[in-house]
Amino acid sequence: MTEIENKTKKIPEKRKRECSDNAIKHISKHLSFEHTLKIILLICSGILPPLYPLHAQAFLTNVQGRNFTSLNGKWQIIIDPFDAGAGSWKPVWKDQKPSGKFDFYEYGFNDAVSLNVPGDWSSQQAELKYYEGTVWYKKTFIHQQKKDKRDFLYFGAVNYLCDVYFNNEKLGSHEGGFTPFQFEVTGKIKDGNNSIILRVSNQRKPDDIPALNFDWWNYGGITRDVYLVETPLNLIRDYFIQLKKSSTDKIDGWIQLDSSSGVQKVSVQIPALKINYNTFTNTTGKALISIDTKPILWSPENPVLYEVIIRSETDSIHEAIGFRNIEVNGEDILLNGKPVFLRGVNIHEEVPQRAGRAWSESDAQMLLGWAKELGCNFVRLTHYPHNEHTVRLAEKMGMMLWEEIPLWQNIQFTNPAILNKADTMLNEMITRDKNRCAIIMWSLSNETAPSESRNNVLAAMADYARSLDSTRLITSAFNHVKYEGNKVIIDDSLSNTLDVIGVNEYLGWYVPWKVKPEEMEWENPFHKPLIMSEFGGEALYGNHGAADTNSSWSEERQEQLYHEQITMLKRIPFLRGTCPWVLADFRSPGRLNPRYQQGWNMKGLLSDKGLKKKAWFVMNNYYKQLEQQ
């Protein structure tokens, strides 16, 4: 680090500050000295953006357990396809109104139409179905200020890039369509009327995550809840309370008060376990906790959640937390010390019947209810962090979860900005859900092509995820395997980085069977548990025809394909989970067959109306057999 710092002495201090010491240490840990120095020099010279350019603040954990006011409902919008309102000529964010005889403005919210928030714009207005660009949102609300309180604007998710203006002042920006962010408005909020304006863009770019092409609908808009959160001046900002790795009788973790809080007494109470644990924070407001106890362990068969109360001298939060352990032992996945087989399914965050983004608890209840009926004890949340309603409901229902960030194919791994963006999204995902025991795996990516730059970035991300949370497993899904005669060999070196291997294979659909399914042999030179993270084929519900040809698009073909897959899966000795692709048909504009697809990926076990295809019953019977073993 000294050599790097010496070579950057002549760079202005303002530019240096944009590349923080933590960022330098992080990238230099995983990249060569020359590569690290190049990145720093490019940032400091202005050619690359700062490593941490996303200006939204670290958000509060468990906002639903705090005092909040919902800002959901009708928001006025202005559609801005050329992004004219972001410039100085037509500054929509200023929300100016004519006051003189010759005043006029070529924009205005007064006569604007409205959209529902939460909700994507693609499914709410026909003309916005395929729209990818800028939409301005406005919401006004009345507020009464309270002494000795702080106020935060919290957004569950906005897709994809969002600038936030409050009372005509820019608060900052956030990038990423599936994780929360917030801004403190203490001192900016007024008695009476207040105004929020958002510039939202879902325009695809090659250095976005995901990038230009992905196999789901690019739902733009304010897609999750918006809250005004009120807290004490000295607040509990974050906490992590889970079983210690490999233990069934020790709860470890920490509580983080706001950095201005100083040393305070804090406590963790778990009434059902008769726990009242007291400790003190250090001068940075952080307190470590270590509690000896024997909780009833959470499992799909017995999803026990405990009321947990976290208190400081000035604040308190109520939580519902389950305690369980997840580990790997050789080729086994152990839940609470016992081998477990993950009977799973992939789910997109979409309500197919209304062809729109799922966002409510009732939406989550329907999707997870379908998975439960299928016989699942596990769900892969693809290909991005789903709504917090989904994660918390899965916990109550006894569903284990795989959660991932949207590093999906065609990512610019040679672009130094990608590691920063990916780590930011990883951090936001883990920050939100680290106390949710239903989540047993953090996933780094899906179907990324092997390369040195890809391997370096994903290895750095895996290290970062483990530094944030050492209690869960790290996985990733890839589709790079080698076929030799009747053998399928897992040969992606990314497997060295992972705790659990995820393979997407479409034998019988995209890849012809090399031999009969009952003759297929799988080899795993990495000796780690395997989850078949995707397999399947397409069928149009109600379309019947030949079972031996993909071109029939028939339910019979999909049904036969699932029979063949299960025949092969039963022969894999290190298989520890299956996730057919996918629970229900979902929208994807890249699916172009004019007769059978029409902008839908038809690989669902359920149709776009939630109706069961023949393949659904094949997987249901398979899961019943596994459950009885």
Share of the chain above pLDDT 90, in %: 85
Q: Is 145 helix (H, G, I), strand (E, B) or coil?
A: coil
**Alpha carbon distance 164, 166 (integer Å):** 7
| pLDDT tens sequence across 397-436 | 999 999 999 999 999 999 999 999 999 999 999 999 999 9
Q: Bridge-partner residues for 351, per DSSP?
A: 356
CATH number assigned to the domain with residue range 255-323, chosen from the 4 options 1.10.760.10, 3.40.920.10, 3.90.420.10, 2.60.40.10? 2.60.40.10
**Alpha carbon distance 428, 425 (integer Å):** 5
> φ and ψ at 318, to 5 degrees?
-100, 135
Please list, residue by residue across 314-332, b when 16 or more beta carbons sit within 10 angstroms of its beta carbon and e when fewer do.
bbebebebbbbbbbbeebe
**Nearest CA-CA partner of 627 in 300, 296, 328, 367:** 300
pTM for the complete prediction? 0.91
The fold of 63-84+110-232 is Jelly Rolls (2.60.120)
Average pLDDT over residues 443-452: 96
CB atoms within 10 A of CB 448: 24
- 497, 502, 508, 514 alpha-carbon torsion, rounded to 10°: 40
Average pLDDT over residues 536-550: 97
Q: Distance between terminal CA atoms of the chain?
A: 56
- Which band of pLDDT confidence, cut at 50, 70 and 90, is reported for residue 3? low
Which pair of tokens denotes residue 164? 């936030």
Contact indicator for 138, 197 with CB cutoff of 8 Å: yes
Contact indicator for 341, 307 with CB cutoff of 8 Å: no
| pLDDT tens sequence across 584-613 | 999 999 999 999 999 999 999 999 999 999
Average pLDDT over residues 174-192: 96
Q: Which residues contact 213 (CB under 8 A, 6 or more apart)?
A: 204, 409, 410, 590
Which pair of tokens denotes residue 424? 């930011």
| pLDDT tens sequence across 310-323 | 999 999 999 999 99
| pLDDT tens sequence across 478-491 | 999 999 999 999 99
**Alpha carbon distance 388, 385 (integer Å):** 9
More confident residue, 19 or 482: 482
Which pair of tokens denotes residue 276? 């009242």
Q: Is 292 helix (H, G, I), strand (E, B) or coil?
A: strand
- Which band of pLDDT confidence, cut at 50, 70 and 90, is reported for residue 203? very high
Share of the chain above pLDDT 70, in %: 91
pLDDT value of position 616: 98
Contact indicator for 26, 464 with CB cutoff of 8 Å: yes
pLDDT value of position 409: 94
DSSP label of 499 = S
Average pLDDT over residues 272-287: 96
pLDDT value of position 1: 45
Contact indicator for 271, 252 with CB cutoff of 8 Å: no
**Alpha carbon distance 24, 56 (integer Å):** 21
Instruction: Find where tokens 């071109």 sit.
Output: 551
Burial class (CB in 10 A: 0-12, 13-18, 19+), 338: exposed
Average pLDDT over residues 109-120: 94
- For the cut 80, the answer to whether the pLDDT of residue 135 exceeds it is yes
The two domains 63-84+110-232 and 328-628 share their CATH topology (first three levels equal): no
Q: Where are the domains of the chain?
A: 2-44, 63-84+110-232, 255-323, 328-628
The superfamily in CATH containing domain 328-628 is Glycosidases (3.20.20.80)
pLDDT value of position 7: 52
Q: Specify the amino acid at residue 356.
A: G
- Which band of pLDDT confidence, cut at 50, 70 and 90, is reported for residue 27? very low
- Which band of pLDDT confidence, cut at 50, 70 and 90, is reported for residue 38? low
Number of residues written out for the chain: 629
Average pLDDT over residues 281-295: 96
Which pair of tokens denotes residue 480? 């790079």
Average pLDDT over residues 275-295: 96
| pLDDT tens sequence across 65-103 | 999 999 999 999 999 999 999 988 889 999 988 888 888
DSSP label of 56 = P
**Alpha carbon distance 187, 233 (integer Å):** 12
Across 118-203, the runs of DSSP E, i.e. the strands, are 134-143, 149-155, 158-159, 161-166, 169-175, 181-184, 192-201
Burial class (CB in 10 A: 0-12, 13-18, 19+), 271: exposed
pLDDT value of position 536: 98
Prior bond of 143 cis (ω within 30°): no
- For the cut 70, the answer to whether the pLDDT of residue 511 exceeds it is yes
pLDDT value of position 164: 97
pLDDT value of position 538: 98
DSSP for 331-363?
TEEEETTEE--EE--EEESEEGGGTEE--SHHH
Mean pLDDT over each residue of the chain, to the nearest integer: 92
**Nearest CA-CA partner of 462 in 447, 454, 474:** 474
CB atoms within 10 A of CB 441: 25
Q: Is 21 helix (H, G, I), strand (E, B) or coil?
A: helix
- Which band of pLDDT confidence, cut at 50, 70 and 90, is reported for residue 40? low
pLDDT value of position 58: 84
**Alpha carbon distance 228, 17 (integer Å):** 31
- Which band of pLDDT confidence, cut at 50, 70 and 90, is reported for residue 329? very high
Contact indicator for 276, 352 with CB cutoff of 8 Å: no
Please list, residue by residue across 87-97, b when 16 or more beta carbons sit within 10 angstroms of its beta carbon and e when fewer do.
eeebbbbebee
